[in-house]
Amino acid sequence: MASLEDEVADLVFTDPPYFQNRAQNIKGLKNHKDVITEFEFDGFHSEEAYLQFLEDVLRECYRVAKPGASGYLWCGDDFVSYLNRIVTKAGFRFRKVIHWHKTNPFPAIHTRKMFANSMELMVHFSKGSPKTWNHKPVNEMHNFIEAPICMGAERTPHKTQKPLRVCLPYIEISSNPGDLVLDPFMGSGTTALACLKTGRDFIGYELNKDYCQIIEGRFSEFLNTPSLFGGEEPKVIY
């Protein structure tokens, strides 16, 4: 991101690592494939190191964002109050926390005596007052969205893939076709795909080469399937 110029992005939409590698120590879950491998890219040594990393990224997002740009940052419920403060320290205005209720979460395990983790949160923030706010029908403008985790044809091998359903509405509300959207943590490329579907330009980063291949696969599937564009041939401009 250091190579990007100042004030080029109209929207930041991202889903960073959640620092949940602590889950690896939970007795009884140790050999559960989904729980362990989900967090393989989450290797921070301490909570402080994790929060400092996110602060550094957010400061860089602030530099790259245009005045009036919105930002959305996914996070787990245990860190949301820290992240509210960090987005503010980075220069942004904190606006609201959005709650995604997963209708099909990983079930609660009896021996852990805890409720199922059926919520993920997203912090909405802005650089000054938001310049774009494409109002949807009133009942879609709540800070609560309900949807299943990725399933079926949409599902890729990326363990923390977000469904398009919980990303697209916010991208449409806070940006316009032709705008530039930034995602510093692409994963399987959900933000990028949402941009491709809705005519936004996109710039993003992903460290893991295997995930980059997933992203390329999703792009080419999309571009080679005109029906996904409502039957129209996609126009790709290089």
Ligand X SMILES: C[S@@+](CC[C@H](N)C(=O)[O-])C[C@H]1O[C@@H](n2cnc3c(N)ncnc32)[C@H](O)[C@@H]1O
Site residues (CB under 6 A) for ligand X? Answer: 15-17, 41, 158, 160-162, 185, 187-188, 190, 205-208, 211
Cβ 124 vs Cβ 170: under 8 Å: yes
Q: What totals of helices (H) and strands (E) does the chain contain, helices first?
A: 6, 7
CA distance 104 to 146: 10
Nearest-CB residue for ligand X = 187
Shortest separation between residue 176's beta carbon and ligand X, angstroms:
22
- The residue among 84 and 188 lying less far from ligand X, judged by its C-beta, is 188
Shortest separation between residue 186's beta carbon and ligand X, angstroms:
6
- The residue among 87 and 122 lying less far from ligand X, judged by its C-beta, is 122
Give 175-195 as a DSSP string. --TT-EEEES--TTTHHHHHH
Shortest separation between residue 159's beta carbon and ligand X, angstroms:
8
- The residue among 100 and 211 lying less far from ligand X, judged by its C-beta, is 211
Q: Where are the beta strands (DSSP E) in 3-77?
A: 9-14, 65-75
- The residue among 129 and 220 lying less far from ligand X, judged by its C-beta, is 220
Shortest separation between residue 136's beta carbon and ligand X, angstroms:
22
Closest by CA to 19, choosing from 62, 59, 53, is 53
Shortest separation between residue 206's beta carbon and ligand X, angstroms:
5
Cβ 11 vs Cβ 71: under 8 Å: yes
Percentages of the chain per state (helix, strand, coil), in multiples of 5: 35, 20, 45
Cβ 25 vs Cβ 105: under 8 Å: no
Closest by CA to 43, choosing from 25, 82, 74, 17, is 17
- The residue among 40 and 133 lying less far from ligand X, judged by its C-beta, is 40
First and final C-alpha spacing in the chain: 21
- The residue among 54 and 69 lying less far from ligand X, judged by its C-beta, is 54
Shortest separation between residue 74's beta carbon and ligand X, angstroms:
7
